[in-house]
Amino acid sequence: MLNCISVEPLDSIVARLCFCVFVRDDEFKKTFFQKNYQQYSFLFVFLQLINFSMQRFIFLLSFMLFGLSLQAQNRPIEVYLKQGQDSTLVDNRTIKIKKEPFELVFVFHNPKEFSGIFVNTSYTKDYYKLDDSEIIPDLSFLPQKVYSEHKFNPNKELKVNPEFFQYFGYNPKSYWNKFDKIIKDGDKIIAYRKVHRFNLVEEGIITEISKMKFPVFMIFEIIRKRNSFSNDEISRVRLKIKF
């Protein structure tokens, strides 16, 4: 008469081992593997390696996110792209959005010291492609390379040019600004600017977002005036918008 050998299904073995590898109760793990080491040793080693790799991955991911968070907090002005309920921090990244209106949200953490930001929007990568170590051409003359525009953003547009900028600033002593809405939150100022279209000023072409076919490249530049002839760059972030 043949002796029958009872074999536990593999998925049951893996499930039990996964529980033991990831469980916090060390005494339970010790008891389990003393009873089942011969049968499950190869799977145990494999799962332990997976566990170790996952722990390293989670640690590295947490460290990176913490670093990015600190970097963002150190900026005197944060910029977000908001469309519908989705809001994304502008932080040297590509953001793909629907061909629908969106908002740029500016958080001024210290408006008494840094109350404005220079913004360039272009179909080319002239500014966008610059490394952080490369200085923007004509940085000292940036305030002179700014388009004039109406108060309170009536046209809901971004001006597109490979060289010139727009300046979005907040002045508590002024009765007007270039935003649709401003909210005071303690010492912070949160400003909203809606975007419905792109205006190629030099060409005289206005393109609605619904008709956009190409990406746009943007940089957001914060500077501090050093003297009458030069400026210091405080922060610069890049954004590529795909439609």
β-sheet bridge partners, residue 116: 169
Under the banding of pLDDT at 50, 70 and 90, the label for residue 35 is: low
Of the candidate ranges 56-70, 141-155, 162-176, 226-240, the one whose mean pLDDT is the lowest: 56-70
Copy the structure tokens of residue 98.
Answer: 């629907």
Task: Note the pLDDT of residue 31.
Answer: 60
Mean pLDDT over the full length of the chain: 81
Cα 230 from Cα 147, distance rounded (Å) = 20
Q: How far is CA 103 from the centre of its chain?
A: 15
Mean pLDDT computed over 146-160 = 95
The predicted-structure confidence for 73-115, as pLDDT tens digits, reads as follows 578 999 999 999 999 999 999 999 999 999 999 999 999 899 8
Stretch (H or E) spanning 74? helix 26-74
CB 236 within 8 A of CB 220: yes
Residue 141 has pLDDT above 60, yes or no: yes
- Residue 239: which of 44, 141, 101, 92 has the closest Cα? 92
Cα 17 from Cα 66, distance rounded (Å) = 32
The predicted-structure confidence for 157-190, as pLDDT tens digits, reads as follows 999 999 999 999 988 788 889 999 999 999 999 9
Copy the structure tokens of residue 72.
Answer: 């963002």
Cα 167 from Cα 193, distance rounded (Å) = 12
Q: pTM of the predicted model, to two decimals?
A: 0.70
Copy the structure tokens of residue 222.
Answer: 């914060």
CB 106 within 8 A of CB 75: no
Mean pLDDT computed over 31-46 = 56
Task: Note the pLDDT of residue 87.
Answer: 97
